């Protein structure tokens, strides 16, 4: 396995990340716990150390499975997760958005599901129509100061929105 620095100053990660959007069956398809463990172990045995997930993947089951799989070896992996303003497992529930309150609530829930004290890379998964970028950045800064996240980023945000 080859490794590289994430960004310019980030952690050393394997060039191949393990995406875990299908760890769990909350969406009606995906890998059950036995299959998820086999995939995870094969990746780790090949030298992989970069795990990607999101709070919404399989309605939280992906993070829960990873929490179990990482027990006793958390420090061997770089863990990236995302919070989202997307779909909910509860029909009719409003999306939460990217505001600071939602971000803090989401990181606490992810930390609990992942059974960890920190998230190495925390992403805002999608833009919303109302939360200013400045509020998202301030929220990330607060979480980093609190030691809950080490690095932060934006996923699926159009470049024109960030260029201001």
Q: What residues are labeled active site? A: 57
**CA dihedral (115, 120, 125, 129) positive or negative:** positive
Q: C-alpha 147: how far from its chain's center?
A: 16
* DSSP designation for 90: S
* DSSP designation for 60: G
Q: Which residue has the tokens 């190495």?
A: 120
Q: Which residue has the tokens 């998964």?
A: 125
Angle at the Cα of 40 from the Cα atoms of 116 and 155, rounded to 5 degrees: 65
Cα–Cα separations (whole angstroms), residue 147 to 121, 122, 157 = 12, 12, 25
Spatial CA neighbour of 13 closest among 60, 86, 71, 76? 76
The CA distance from 29 to 20, in Å, is 13
């Amino acid at each position: 396995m080859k490794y590289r620095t994430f960004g310019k100053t980030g952690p050393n990660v394997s060039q191949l990340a393990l995406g875990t959007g299908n760890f769990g069956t909350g969406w009606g398809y995906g890998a059950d716990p036995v299959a998820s463990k086999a995939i995870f172990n094969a990746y780790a045995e090949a030298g992989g150390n970069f795990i990607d997930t999101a709070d919404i993947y399989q309605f939280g089951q992906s993070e829960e499975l990873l929490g179990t799989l990482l027990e006793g070896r958390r420090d061997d992996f770089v863990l990236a997760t995302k919070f989202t303003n997307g779909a909910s497992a509860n029909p009719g529930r409003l999306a939460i958005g990217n505001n600071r309150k939602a971000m803090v609530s989401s990181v606490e829930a992810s930390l609990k599901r992942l059974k960890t004290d920190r998230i190495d890379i925390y992403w805002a998964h999608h833009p919303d129509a109302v939360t200013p970028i400045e509020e998202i950045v301030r929220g990330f800064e607060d979480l980093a100061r609190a030691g809950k996240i080490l690095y932060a980023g934006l996923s699926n945000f159009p470049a024109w929105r960030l260029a201001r």
